[in-house]
Structure 1
Amino acid sequence: MKGKKIIWGIIFVIAMLVIAGATCFIVLHFFSDNDSKEYIKPTAASQANMAENHNIDWNKLHEKNKDVYSWIYIPGTKVDYAVVQPPKGESDLFYLDKNLDKEYEFAGSIFSERMNKKDYSDPVTVLYGHNMLNGSMFATLHKFKQPKFFKKHKKMYVYQPNRRITYKIYSAYTYDDRHIMNSFDFSDGKILKQYQKSTLKPKALDKNVRKKTVLDANSKILTLSTCTSGASNTRYLVQGVLIKDERTN
């Protein structure tokens, strides 16, 4: 009897270790966060001035990874990250599960594909980020489903060395999972115009659109794309139109 109790005790301990290991894996797998905050220089600026003085340490960023070409920040959300684009020879999805050290990390990085120019001059630029359970990466974009939040938070910012681009957030909605850049030829004026109209009048039930937004042939749209919970065939999009492009110190 004592022998059986010892055996069952050993089995129980092993089972608990397996469960603990699995739990740890799940936590790391789904709650990992590619933290970019270490690249923001300490500053005495208030939160209200963060948009104007983001103090990004570009030298430190580029020492770590030369694929970093910009930074995105949205007040009221956790979106405050470096943006990368994979170099030639790598898959466009390289950073889907890679951090800034180019090491595997489920959270991946915020990234664009090579079909978009790095200077944000395309009619439509798309940035991708995971919908993480801990609210990191692009998860808090879903806050724009709330009409009050959407109404209050009107801007998002993209930074590059000596440059700040301000976008007015004008539309947020659930969309299908088509690849936007491959699905529309934005060099065709008619197609671009039709697409712009579709972003102003999306069919989604959870849509929020800022009234009196005007888009034309010269408009520069920034689209942020993330997954939706419980559906593999849809994406949640937050879109902004460029309203200010300025040099910074």
Structure 2
Amino acid sequence: MAMSNETANLTERDSSNFFLRFVKYFIPWKGDKSNEILRKIVFMGSIVLFSMSIDQLSDYLGASKEEQRSYIQDVVVKYEPQFDSNVSYGMEAGGDEYDAANPEAAGQKLSLQDWAKPLLKRNKDVVGWIKIPGFTDYSGEEYINFPVVQGEDNEEYLYLNLDREYYESGSIFADAWSVLDENGQTDNLTIFGHHMGYVGTSFTHLSEYEQGVDFLKKYPIIEFNSIYESGRKYAIVSCFIINTKEKDDGGDLWKYVGCRDLNEEDGSFADWYDQISKRSWYTSDIECTADDKYITLSTCSKLLSDLRWVVVAKKLTPRDNIDLIIKSYKEKPDKDVYFPKYWRDLYGNNKIYKGWEY
């Protein structure tokens, strides 16, 4: 009996080709039982809904990307300071006669600049403007060209735009516990911005400094002006990856954001400079002292969670020669760079660049 049943099953098998059997499995067919027809209809409906959802998600992401870019482009058109047209790479490249390392200049009160007044009417939390000149997209617009705000803490502007409305890219914002006023600014000012991946907004393109010293030589200058300044320029002195949790570096955590006041007497400048030097992917002959002013740009690393990509720059003074600075930039051998343990476990003691989307 068992043998005869097996033989019957063999003779009842569909002898049609594979493609036809595949189609019959998913599409209602003559001879199907009611439960089979229902299953196939539900399956086909699910496919249709899934396809529509993918299409709508794609449209949403595309629209979101363009909307975020459009918003900041409008801000740039309306408010970008126009003092950058005379960017000089000559000997007197500090911006003007002002010398940040001069104690007398440092003691002078600064005046609110005309370029900042319209921005302050829009948002009283605006404290400056940052730009990397010449670093542009296909349309000639700078990737990094933003107003800088300062909130009551370092979370307030994570997802708010200049109008204090929800904005996925957030704002570029200065460390809430740093000083930026008519008396000057904190010795080392940290400025934060999201890494937005494929959207490309905010500080996403800072990650391009991971690609090598040739890129650094091409874009060595950052323009940052508080609302009390015009024409100030900074030269990059260090680029590095760093952990934000102790567990990611064997229990060690250097709190780079907390390095605000630097001086020779208590050793804070020497400790800070040692940290940014040993971690840096590049070297240079830039003269850095405790009397100089610095900015630290911080964004997320997409290569590993909870790590940050950091770019440190020094405010230029008349004594700085940008041509010589650019010539002095060198790639540091991987073996000489300090990487967090979390990084070393995955990539070894090696620099990695996978593109600005990462």
TM over 0.5: yes
Shorter-chain-normalised TM-score: which range? 0.7 to 0.9
CA deviations 1:74-118 (Å, max 9, x no partner) are 12431100100114xxx4211111111211121111001221112
Q: 1:49 aligns with which of 73, 85, 97?
A: 85
Q: Which residue of 1 aligns with 2:234?
A: 167
Letter aligned with residue 290 of structure 2: A
Counterpart AA for 2:201: S
> Which has the larger helix fraction?
2
Counterpart contact for 1:227–1:234, Cα < 8 Å:
yes
Deviations for 1:31-75, whole angstroms, at most 9, x for unmatched residues? 7445155344599x9xx82748xxx95344223212112100112
Q: Which has the larger radius of gyration?
A: 2
- Residue 109 of structure 1: aligned partner: 171
**Conserved 8 A contact 1:222-1:240:** yes
Moved more, 58-67 or 76-85: 58-67
Classify the secondary structure of the residue corresponding to 1:164: coil
Pick the aligned partner of 1:149 from 215, 218, 230. 215
- C-alpha change, 1:217 and 1:125, in structure 2 (3 Å) is same
- Letter matched to residue 72 of structure 1: I
**Partner Cα distance (1:21, 1:190) in 2:** 57
RMSD: 3.5
Residue 188 of structure 2 is aligned to residue 124 of structure 1: yes
Mapped partners of 1:71, 1:147: distance in 2 = 26
Kept in 1, the 8 Å contact 2:259–2:272? The answer is no
Aligned positions, number: 234
Structure number with the higher strand fraction is 1
Q: Does 1:220 align with 2:306?
A: no
Match of 1:194 among 253, 271, 276: 271
After TM superposition, the score normalised by the length of structure 1 is 0.77
Pair 136,170 (structure 1): closer, same or farther in 2 beyond 3 Å: same
- The equivalent of 1:140 in structure 2 is 205
Cα deviation, 1:209-237, whole Å, max 9, x if unaligned, reads 3x212222212110001111131231111
**Aligned residue for 2:282?**
208
Question: CA distance change for structure 1 residues 28 and 231 in 2, over 3 Å: closer, same or farther?
Answer: farther
Q: Which runs of 5+ in 2 are unaligned?
A: 1-27, 30-36, 89-113, 136-142, 245-253, 319-358
Cα 1:186–1:30 change in 2 (3 A) is farther
3-state DSSP class of the match of 1:61? helix
| CA distance in 2: counterparts of 1:180 and 1:58, whole angstroms | 29
Is 2:215 the partner of 1:180?
Answer: no
Q: 1:149-202: CA deviations, max 9, x gaps?
A: 112322111133552321111211212226423377746731222111222332
Does residue 84 in structure 1 map to residue 121 in structure 2? Answer: no
Contact 1:36–1:80 at 8 Å: present in 2 too? no
Identical positions, percent? 23
2:158 aligned with 1:93: no
Check conservation: 1:107, 1:137, Cα contact below 8 A.
yes
Hey, what's the Cα distance between the residues in 2 that align with 1:51 and 1:93? 33
- Change in Cα spacing, 1:50 to 1:174, as seen in structure 2 (3 Å) is farther
Q: Structure 1 counterpart of 2:232, which letter?
A: I
Partner residue in 1 for 2:356 = none
Report the more deviating stretch, 172-181 or 21-30.
21-30
TM-score normalised over the length of structure 2: 0.56
Contact 1:131 1:227 in 2 (8 A): yes
Letter in 1 for 2:296: T
**In 2 relative to 1, CA 28–106 (structure 1 residues): closer, same or farther, beyond 3 Å?**
farther
- The CA distance in 2 between the partners of 1:128 and 1:28, in whole Å, is 25
Q: 1:84 to 1:42 in 2, by over 3 A?
A: closer
Per-residue deviation, residues 1-55 of structure 1 (Å, max 9, x unmatched): 6996876665444333333333345556677445155344599x9xx82748xxx
Contact 1:73 1:158 in 2 (8 A): yes
